[in-house]
Amino acid sequence: MLKRFRSICILLLIFGFSATLMGNEWANYYFPDTLGSYWTYENQDGDELTRYAIEPQDVDGEMHRAFSYEPALEDWADYDYHTHPYFYLVSDDWTAFLVGEDIENATRTVTERQWQEVVSMMKEQINNQLPEGTRIELDVTYDLDIQAQDYFYFLPNNATFNEEWEALRIDMQINLQMEMTMEGFPPTTQAITMSLTLTETGVITGTEAVDTDAGTFEDCLVITYSTAATIETDPEIPDAKSMFADAYSGSTTTLWLAPNVGLVKMEQESENSGVGKTLELTNHEITTTESGSSENN
């Protein structure tokens, strides 16, 4: 009985070790990170971004693979967690980016700017509907509570084509306080709470060849991420769900990962704003661990 138990334990250890190796091999195949490697990309505006593989870092007692970037990020509104992870983890099941705090910073920056535009438009529209010589002063204050999950689940190890997974969830609460003042009338106030949930799903749609300025890459893994939004308001506001949820949902990000190279192309599009972003590999050097040699273009 003891021998049988010992054999089972050995098999479990071997299986666990093998699964870890398979997970790491899968991650290294599509997301290599050997020291000395770098990747240079160009976006839709002609701006360059270079990613460097650096020494693994300890984050809360757990070692994470790490990247640095040049130029350094100056505006959180320009941050994209799909292509700009600083730390990531490879487990038996996932390659996952540690980006929760970064997403919260970027979401806060973008949302605050959006609300400044919304408030300005609200004031203009209200006063345009009033008789000439009459104006309403509208004071809108708000605070944001944004909670993003710590990890963006970038890629399941040994994933199956056309099988969706939940990659990310962001919960946001916006507390609005509106005060309206009009000459000859007492001021009126309205408090509104908006609860918004963004869910992003990923799916591997297949493999294909991709042409870039860095060359043609065969058998690229194609991953598409799509966002959906749900919203609740208190008190309930007519059309708020469609108006605000649509503003956040409808975005699609497609990535192409080349074997032994990694990310070679990104396309991002928002159905509502029509804004499109691209990122394409222009130059790279992948250092191999076995010989210290490198492959570049």
pLDDT tens sequence across 237-279: 766 555 565 566 678 999 999 999 999 999 998 766 555 899 9
To which H or E segment does residue 246 belong? helix 240-248
Confirm if 135 and 158 have CB atoms less than 8 A apart.
no
| Mean pLDDT value across the chain | 82
To which H or E segment does residue 205 belong? strand 188-212
Tokens of 293: 């040699």
Tokens of 190: 């309205």
- Among 18, 78, 49, 24, smallest CA distance to 289 is for 24
How confident is the model at residue 246, as a pLDDT? 58
How confident is the model at residue 70, as a pLDDT? 98
How confident is the model at residue 183, as a pLDDT? 74
Single-letter amino acid code for the residue at 148: A
Confirm if 174 and 198 have CB atoms less than 8 A apart.
no
Which of 35-44, 123-132, 287-296 shows the lowest per-residue confidence on average (mean pLDDT)?
287-296
Tokens of 153: 């689940």
Residue 263: half-sphere exposure toward Cβ, Cα within 13 Å: 26
Q: How far apart are CA 98 and CA 89, in angstroms?
A: 7
Q: How far apart are CA 43 and CA 80, in angstroms?
A: 12
How confident is the model at residue 53, as a pLDDT? 96
Average pLDDT of the segment spanning 102-131: 80
How confident is the model at residue 20, as a pLDDT? 36
Place of tokens 């209200």: 126
Summarised one tens digit per residue, pLDDT across range 152-181 is 999 998 778 999 999 999 999 988 887 878
Q: Which residue has the higher pLDDT, 198 or 133?
A: 198
Statement: residue 77 has pLDDT above 60: yes
* 3-state secondary structure at position 285: strand
SS3 helix, strand, coil % of the chain, rounded to 5?
Answer: 25, 50, 25
Q: With pLDDT > 70 as the criterion, what percentage of the chain qualifies?
A: 80
Statement: residue 189 has pLDDT above 60: yes
Q: How far apart are CA 253 and CA 267, in angstroms?
A: 6
Summarised one tens digit per residue, pLDDT across range 22-76 is 345 666 788 888 999 999 999 999 999 999 999 999 999 999 999 999 999 999 9
How confident is the model at residue 4, as a pLDDT? 38
Q: How far apart are CA 256 and CA 207, in angstroms?
A: 9
Summarised one tens digit per residue, pLDDT across range 88-110 is 998 888 999 999 999 999 999 98
pLDDT band for position 293 (50/70/90)? very low
Q: Where are the domains of the chain?
A: 38-296
How confident is the model at residue 124, as a pLDDT? 76
How confident is the model at residue 120, as a pLDDT? 76
Q: How far apart are CA 234 and CA 28, in angstroms?
A: 47
How confident is the model at residue 11, as a pLDDT? 32
How confident is the model at residue 224, as a pLDDT? 97
Q: Which residue has the higher pLDDT, 125 or 215?
A: 215
- The angle at the Cα of 263, spanning 200 to 215, to the nearest 5 degrees, equals 140
- The angle at the Cα of 251, spanning 271 to 123, to the nearest 5 degrees, equals 65
How confident is the model at residue 116, as a pLDDT? 77
DSSP string over 88-132: EEE-SSEEEEE-HHHHHHHHHHHHHHHHHHHHHHHHHHHHHTSPT
Tokens of 274: 């029509």
How confident is the model at residue 205, as a pLDDT? 95
Average pLDDT of the segment spanning 128-135: 72
- Among 18, 19, 48, 51, smallest CA distance to 34 is for 51
Confirm if 30 and 23 have CB atoms less than 8 A apart.
no
How confident is the model at residue 290, as a pLDDT? 45
Task: Provide the β-strand partners of residue 42.
Answer: 48, 280
Place of tokens 């009338």: 185
How confident is the model at residue 251, as a pLDDT? 85
